[in-house]
A and B are shown apart, each in its own frame.
Chain A
Amino acid sequence: MQYQQLPRTVADVCDVLRWQGRADLAERIKYFASDEDLDAGDVPVTLDSALGFLAFFDAVESAGQTQLACSPEGWICAVWTFPDCRRVSLWFVDQDKVLCAARQSDGRFADLPGDSEAASRLIVTEKLVESGEWFTWRNRV
């Protein structure tokens, strides 16, 4: 999807998700942006993390169910679960970097960049789609 301009706030990211029909995800991120339920030293979701998630979400489609959590550092942790044992967790460290844990249909974790230190979101996205296990490109020609 092409934006008129890049979202400048977390609220903008939520607006885009609502416009895409994912009010559930928008409400979740809006909650992450609040001070509610934060422990000492924790921070609300960061704009960079929300932008990273939005970029990934716009790039791919998945038959998995999407669920969101937020780390103490303010990183969105998006998890896609499937009826079998497949499961992908992506931690959006910032706009360009992710941590990744992706479990394959054979029960093993895929050997991917981002499994022990943050790696390029674009590269991880390519690898995840190329494997054919969890995601397909959205509207790629």
Chain B
Amino acid sequence: MAEQGLNGLELSAFHHVSRHCRRRDIGSNGAPLDTAFRLREGEEYLSTNWLERVAGSNRREQVDSVRRALTAKGFRVAGTSSFAVLNVGRAVAEFRDVLGISIRIIALGENNDPSHTGIYGYAAHNVAGAALLAALVGPDDVHPAYG
């Protein structure tokens, strides 16, 4: 239960989250496209992982920790997958300034995935939201699932 002690916490602006992207979500320039960030019908939030919450002194180690946690809970992470990294403050500000939407990134830790977080506040039909998040991810913000 200790892993869930932070649940409900809203991540602050200087933190970062990662989003798993399949090969079919990644464009020819190596950056993820909108499909990586669109909610499926019925989903309440976009699943992400809080990178400052996992073991690792650099981005590579943090991504490795996330991948191990996802794999441990049965999530398939293919060798061709990548993780896109989003800065919380930029994501929140872009939604507010461009779309007039207030999103929140909330800790949802589980025993086998303590860094689990969710992006709340935009709906499956909001394709502009998915486009906005995709556009925030630059080439330096994408990390292969297996370094």
Contact = CB atoms under 8 A, between A and B. Distances in A.
Contacts, number: 76
Nearest to B126: A116
A117 B127 CA distance: 9
B34 A77 contact: yes
A101 B131 contact: yes
B104 interface: no
A65 B32 CA distance: 14
Interface stretch (B8-16, B19-27, B44-52, B112-120): B19-27
Interface residues of A, number: 30
Contacts of A103: 131, 135
Contact of A89 (B23, B29, B127): B127
Nearest to A78: B33
B23 A99 contact: no
B28 interface: yes
Contacts of A65: 29
B22 to A, nearest CB: 5
B4 interface: no
A67 B35 contact: no
Nearest to A34: B24
A71 B35 contact: yes
A107 B135 CA distance: 12
A140 interface: no
